[in-house]
Structure 1
Amino acid sequence: MNASTDPDFRARLAALNAKFAATVPGTMDKIAQALAACRDSDVGAAPSAAALHQLHELLHGVAGSAGTFGFATLGQEARRIEQQVRTVMKEGADWEPIPAQVERLLAWAARDASAAEYD
């Protein structure tokens, strides 16, 4: 019997998926807090390196794990935004469009983080 048809394996995987799902709201709250810290800089100024790093790390964590636990679209969108934040950090790219994208991700995840469609 291979792992995909083993009932014990499927039960363990379902339990891991449920455990990950339970962490999503808290993780989204942490991302919202990191976004708020990025916005704490002076009007028109780029966020501090520390605030950007925190936002990047949180998005990176979601991007790396969400797909494994059945949240493929969440992972893809987190990866897309994470890469933009990394470009801001490394190349000084424009920060201005990123907060709206993070807010959209947070609102979408609050509705249904496991949805296949990102709207």
Structure 2
Amino acid sequence: MATPVDPDFRARLAALNDKFAATVPATLDKIRAALALCVAGGGQPPQDALHQLHEVLHGVAGSAGTFGFTVFGQEARRIEQMVRAVLNGQGAWAPVVPEVEKLLAWAARDAKASHYD
């Protein structure tokens, strides 16, 4: 087996994973706040609120897997795509809300879990 160029690589990666894990509660708060803005008026959410929700989900989708939160990232990506469809006028908003709520509840229990239920 080849010796890594950087012998401290695994230690630094573990530190980054820990740092990401520490941000999960704040990230969930951001998702929760963006969802609240989306549902505040009832009916179709304002575009800026949808953009905010999309942005935070996109951030999770893009980084979670790198730091060992694979399922969290996959589910965020799936819901992000639902939000994007709403933004583009090609999807319904109503199914998004329970999906975001389910993601929030699941991630609050264990965002690093390997199964999504």
Q: TM-score, normalised by structure 1?
A: 0.93
How many Å separate the matches in 1 of 2:82 and 2:90? 10
Determine the C-alpha separation between the residues in 2 that align with 1:34 and 1:94.
Answer: 17
Q: Residue type matched to 1:87 in 2?
A: A
| Cα distance in 2, alignment partners of residues 108 and 50 from structure 1 | 26
The unaligned stretches of length 5 or more in structure 1 are: none
Report the CA distance between 1:93 and its aligned residue: 1.8
Amino acid at match of 1:110: A
2:27 partner amino acid: T
Moved over 4 A (4+): none
State the identity %.
66
Q: Which residue of structure 2 aligns with residue 68 of structure 1?
A: 66
Q: Please give the alpha-carbon distance, in whole angstroms, between the structure 2 residues aligned to 1:15 and 1:90.
A: 38
Per-residue deviation, residues 65-101 of structure 1 (Å, max 9, x unmatched): 0000000000000000000000000124210011100
Secondary structure at 2:19 match in 1: helix
The one-letter code sitting in structure 2 at the alignment partner of 1:19 is: K
SS of equivalent residue, structure 1 residue 66: helix
* Mapping 1:1-119, distance limit 5 Å: 1-2=3-4, 7-41=7-41, 43=42, 45-119=43-117
Letter in 2 for 1:10: R
Q: Displacement, 1:7?
A: 4.5
Equivalenced residue count is 115
What SS is found at the alignment partner of 1:111?
Answer: helix
Tell me, what secondary structure is at the counterpart of 2:62? helix
Could you list the runs of 5+ residues in structure 2 that have no partner in the other structure? none
Question: How far does the alpha carbon of each residue in 1:26-48 deviate from its partner, in whole angstroms, 9 at most, with x for none?
Answer: 0001100000000012x3x2000
* Counterpart Cα distance in 1 of 2:36 and 2:89: 22
